[in-house]
Amino acid sequence: DVIYLGRQGEVEILADFAPWSGLYMFHCHNIVHEDHDMMAAFNVSKIELSAWGYPESVDFGDPMSALFSAKAYTATDLNQIKYILLPYFQNLDAYPDASARIAALKDYHANGPRTTSTTTTQSSTTLSTLSVSASPTPVQSSVVTSTRSSSSRTTSSTRTTRTATSRTTTT
């Protein structure tokens, strides 16, 4: 998104990363702004999301994983794509029942955490029921604050907070 700010302007950005863990960075495409600390890097890969029914079997946060390394390509074999490659990606369960997860996130933000919840998740091979406490667990927060002044009086302040629901607020 593009946000235009005047002098001494502030913006609050709410970014929901669940369940896509990894390294993220808010940044500006004006290199002068980089010099004025208008950037913030943060890591949302160490958050426990099993209480909300997200599987822990696959981590897409590491681009150097062998899963993403280059593979030799000889020719297109449609049978291999249809019967091996596509089922392989389907069985990763990267986005299982996305509409139910979005509904659960909306319910959580509207009503807060429940004391106990029952979540049923279905993968391509098994059906399991989890009964878990949905109270958010505290997670480590990181704060990056910087103030610089120049002839144009540019001042920026960045605060990054990470919670168990993967909500990050930057102002």
Q: Each residue of 8-29: pLDDT tens digit?
A: 888 777 777 666 667 777 777 7
Mean pLDDT rounded to a whole number for the chain:
63
Q: Does 154 have pLDDT greater than 60?
A: no
Q: Specify the pairing of strand 117-122 against strand 127-132.
A: antiparallel
Q: Which of 57-61, 100-104, 107-111, 162-166 has the lowest mean pLDDT?
A: 162-166
Return the top range by mean pLDDT from 34-38, 106-110, 134-138.
106-110
H or E element, residue 122: strand 117-122
pLDDT at 54: 66
Which helix H or strand E contains 134, and what residues bound it?
A: none
CB contact at 8 A, 21 and 59: yes
Q: Are 119 and 129 in contact (CB under 8 A)?
A: yes
pLDDT in tens, 28-80: 777 777 777 777 777 776 666 666 666 665 566 666 777 777 888 777 788 88
User: Does this model's pTM top 0.85?
Assistant: no
